[in-house]
Each structure stands twice: as structure tokens, then as C-alpha cells.
């Protein structure tokens, strides 16, 4: 890890900008499971 000197205001600006660029959201396990059940499977036929 790299340690740098940064004010709290600057750190908050960096964190806010990073959060705007990353599309991260929370989904429940049940919602993800429902999505996975809709995916069609490809078999090898063997």
C-alpha cells in the first residue's frame, strides 16, 4: 500500500468522484438467483 498526505476534504472529493464513475448497486441473492434461472444452458449433447 502507498501512504500519501491528503486532507480530509480532498479525500472526500476523490471518493465522491470514484463513486460517480463506478456503477455499483446492491442486489439481493434472491434477485440474482432469479436472473440466473432465466439464462439458457448450452449442452454438449453427450
Per residue in 1-46, pLDDT (tens digit) is 788 899 999 999 999 999 889 877 889 999 999 999 999 989 888 7
- In whole angstroms, give the CA distance from residue 44 to residue 8: 56
- Is residue 3 one of the residues assigned to a domain? no
Give how many domains the chain has, as a whole number: 1
45: left (phi over 0), alpha (psi -120 to 50) or beta: left
* pTM reported for the whole predicted model: 0.45
Q: For Cα atoms 36, 43, 45, give the angle at the middle one, nearest 5 degrees.
A: 160
- Is residue 43 one of the residues assigned to a domain? no
- In whole angstroms, give the CA distance from residue 16 to residue 22: 10
Q: How many CB atoms lie within 10 A of CB 31?
A: 10
**Structural domain of 13:** 8-37
Amino acid at each position: 500500500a502507498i501512504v500519501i498526505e491528503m486532507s480530509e476534504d480532498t479525500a472526500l472529493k476523490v471518493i465522491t468522484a470514484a463513486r460517480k464513475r463506478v456503477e455499483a448497486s446492491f442486489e439481493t441473492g434472491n434477485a440474482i438467483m432469479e436472473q440466473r434461472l432465466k439464462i439458457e444452458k448450452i449442452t454438449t449433447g453427450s
